[in-house]
Structure 1
Amino acid sequence: MALLDIKPKSECAYDCISLGEIMLRLDPGEGRIRTARYFRVWEGGGEYNVTRGLRKCFGMDVAVVTAFADNEVGRLLEDLVMQGGVDTRFIKWMPFDGIGRKVRNGLNFTERGYGVRGALGVSDRAYTAASQLKKGDIDWDTIFGKYGARWFHTGGIFAALSETTPEVVIEAVQTAKKYGTIVSYDLNYRPSLWKAIGGEKRAQEVNKEIAKYIDVMIGNEEDFTAALGFKVEGNDENLKSLNIEGYKNMINEVVKTYPNFKVVATTLRTVHTATINDWSAICWADGKIYQSREYKNLEILDRVGGGDSFASGLIYGLMTTGDPEKAVNYGAAHGALAMTTPGDTSMADVKEVEKLMSGGSARVVR
């Protein structure tokens, strides 16, 4: 029996659809936000980054469900999304009042970090169009019934945007399940977001309800602890070293609590400096735990989006091979490569991912 009962491509317009907010990322490059004289512009968002990676790296047909304020910034975001090859037909456009008093588009100022200086994100996202989405705003029956998707991905960042977005997530995952679509969810705990709507207590209430509908659950140690209430024993406070057995024990507890989970995956990152990390991942499937190749002392240009690229590689591997060991290695390799380039989104291609998976070197290619 297959690990996941994924619908055939012939029955669906899309391999994967995601739900999440997309912000305009303003990047000061090698400098600091506080002293910048110019910013480079990217688009990014935890859930969107996954589908964009599936399109640009792995060649899959994808779409995003989100909302933008209908102004020039919103149209810039739309253009960036289209450049990423992601279908924009399900974007909800909200009227702009001229100054953003009622609705606006989110901004994310992000420093990459270097050496002893960690990466820094400063979000400016109150009253955004995506945060104001509510139950009933999106015609999920048309999306999953008429168009069809083999896979649906969303996560805890979107769920934390407002009091109404958890209801949108639950409505979406319930409808996806009704039409036989595989559902993945990245916990992606952000204390700065949950603080505004009830903190860790509210995060657990929301995520424990959403978890009932999830097939593939993704998150790191902090995510599982803060968002679902599970503990990893044996890690030091600053995560300078990781207790792998503690992670395995935690995952075994997770799947006992949520028997609907078919796959549980977590990234493993030891931060030596902002630019030197140990990086790998594990996933649980069919009662077994699989560990990816380890990338020791991985040199990082921009760590933001590494976890999202892990998720897209994992999803690609599960969809195309059905082999959890290959899938976790696709994820870890894709995440590693994504962190060698600027911006939230991956610039890798599948040949580079597979070369890295097989132990290929960084020798020049001519």
Structure 2
Amino acid sequence: MNQTVTFGEVLMRLSPLGNKKFMQSNRLEFYFGGTEVNVAISIANFGGKVRHVSSISDDFIGDTAKSYLRKFGVSTAGIARSKRPLGIYFLEVGAVMRPSAISYNRSHSAFSEITPTMVDWEKSLKRCTWFHWTGITPALCEGGYLTLKEGLILAQKKGVEVSVDPTYRSGLWKYGADPRDTLSNLLQYCTIFIGGINEMNEVLGADYNYSNEDFIEASKHLLKEFPNIKKTFDKIRTPINASWHKIRSRMWNGNEYRETLDLDITHIVDRIGTGDAFAGGLIYGLQHFDDDYKAMEFAAAASALKHTYEGDVNFSSVDEVMSVLDGNTSGRFNR
């Protein structure tokens, strides 16, 4: 059976109820998430076997976070404990023309002090067939970069498929590392690239635009620059307003370009984690479907469905995603 390993920070999210701003409310809901955590739980909900590697607080909040992961069937055997607190972010959910707003409190979190000595990669990657990471992890701290690199080197030696979502966010790179050099150094170990033109331009030092033709050229450039990468996948979001978006995806697998049709999301419940739902759906699809396009369609439908769930995580099953692909998008009761 395929086993996927994810590596990254576990976060707690705090939000006012509904679409309220913090100044309107004195009651908060909390959820657990984090980019790689969201991918892990999504794959587990599809029936996949997943292990998450991280460092979390050694207190009752950390205990609760571990329990949350285990509830979905995600192994926490690779999670270290720290005396530092769990990272937190605060979210105000927007609506219509008012965008959502996020504020992070993670600079001195449990994950920020992670070091290679805290992770037993040989044990964590045992029986692993797929390893997933994002650009957020090496952006947060040098320890995250060094620990990730050790895992990637071993994964490559073991012949593990490695997917990356570079997720370039300039505001995260605060410890002195050069984003392009750091990401390029890690991309050499990867086989699947999940990202768009912005991410490609960042690692290539290029200025491709968003057209399909430029996506193909940028993908060819990326595959030439990083020969281990075999395929690129891009999720495209077209916002009408904060509550109504369209989702489609496109790919280049070294031989052909394909793209999906738009999926209309006319009432967004929660858009946090939708990119992670795409990545989780794609990983599951590539593991179970002998067809890149079908895997990408599955990923796009999984991402669209995530918009209908509160919290960071996609709770959809394989059957629910396949139902959307079969054209069942009316939301009628299942009886």
Q: What does residue 54 of structure 1 align with?
A: 43
C-alpha distance in 2 between matches for 1:268 and 1:253: 20
Pick the aligned partner of 2:154 from 143, 157, 175.
175
TM-score normalised by length of structure 2: 0.94
Q: How many corresponding residue pairs? A: 333
Q: What does residue 333 of structure 2 align with?
A: 364
C-alpha distance in 2 between matches for 1:156 and 1:228: 15
How much has 1:329 moved relative to structure 2?
0.4
Counting only pairs closer than 5 Å after superposition, residues 239-250 of structure 1 correspond to structure 2 as: 243-250=211-218
C-alpha distance in 2 between matches for 1:84 and 1:26: 21
Look up the SS of the partner of 1:334 in the other structure.
helix
RMSD of aligned residue pairs (Cα, Å): 1.7
Look up the SS of the partner of 1:64 in the other structure.
strand
Q: Deviations over 1:329-358 (max 9, x none)?
A: 010000000011111100211111001112
Larger CA deviation: 356-365 vs 35-44: 356-365
C-alpha distance in 2 between matches for 1:254 and 1:66: 29
Q: What does residue 62 of structure 2 align with?
A: 74
Pick the aligned partner of 2:193 from 217, 230, 243.
217
How much has 1:279 moved relative to structure 2?
0.9
C-alpha distance in 2 between matches for 1:318 and 1:283: 13
Given that 2:265 and 2:307 are in contact with CA atoms closer than 8 Å, whether structure 1 keeps it comes out as no
Larger CA deviation: 280-289 vs 43-52: 280-289
Q: Are 1:207 and 2:175 matched, yes or no?
A: no
Pick the aligned partner of 2:247 from 275, 279, 293.
279
Q: What does residue 132 of structure 1 align with?
A: 113
Q: Deviations over 1:82-126 (max 9, x none)?
A: 2222111111012x2xxxxxx221001112221111122111101
Look up the SS of the partner of 2:200 in the other structure.
helix
Give the AA of the match of 2:41.
R
Give the AA of the match of 1:148.
R
Give the AA of the match of 2:281.
G
Counting only pairs closer than 5 Å after superposition, residues 1-366 of structure 1 correspond to structure 2 as: 9=1, 15-28=3-16, 29-56=18-45, 58-94=46-82, 96=83, 103-144=84-125, 147-194=126-173, 196-198=174-176, 202-233=178-209, 235=210, 243-296=211-264, 298-362=266-330, 363-366=332-335
Give the AA of the match of 1:319.
Q
Give the AA of the match of 1:36.
S
Given that 1:42 and 1:343 are in contact with CA atoms closer than 8 Å, whether structure 2 keeps it comes out as yes
Look up the SS of the partner of 2:116 in the other structure.
coil
Distance 1:35 1:225, change over 3 A: farther
Distance 1:221 1:299, change over 3 A: farther
Given that 2:165 and 2:193 are in contact with CA atoms closer than 8 Å, whether structure 1 keeps it comes out as yes
Given that 2:187 and 2:226 are in contact with CA atoms closer than 8 Å, whether structure 1 keeps it comes out as yes
Question: What stretches of structure 1 move > 6 A for 4+ residues in a row?
Answer: none
How much has 1:297 moved relative to structure 2?
5.3
C-alpha distance in 2 between matches for 1:221 and 1:180: 28
C-alpha distance in 1 between matches for 2:201 and 2:28: 35
Q: Deviations over 1:167-193 (max 9, x none)?
A: 111111111111121111111112221
Look up the SS of the partner of 2:75 in the other structure.
coil
Given that 1:298 and 1:336 are in contact with CA atoms closer than 8 Å, whether structure 2 keeps it comes out as no
Larger CA deviation: 311-320 vs 184-193: 184-193
Give the AA of the match of 1:213.
Y
Q: Deviations over 1:38-84 (max 9, x none)?
A: 1111111111111110001x101111000012012111211211222
C-alpha distance in 2 between matches for 1:114 and 1:203: 33
Gaps of 5+ in 2: none
Distance 1:205 1:303, change over 3 A: same
Give the AA of the match of 2:130.
W
Given that 1:15 and 1:150 are in contact with CA atoms closer than 8 Å, whether structure 2 keeps it comes out as yes
Gaps of 5+ in 1: 1-8, 97-102, 236-242
How much has 1:230 moved relative to structure 2?
3.6
Give the AA of the match of 1:290.
R
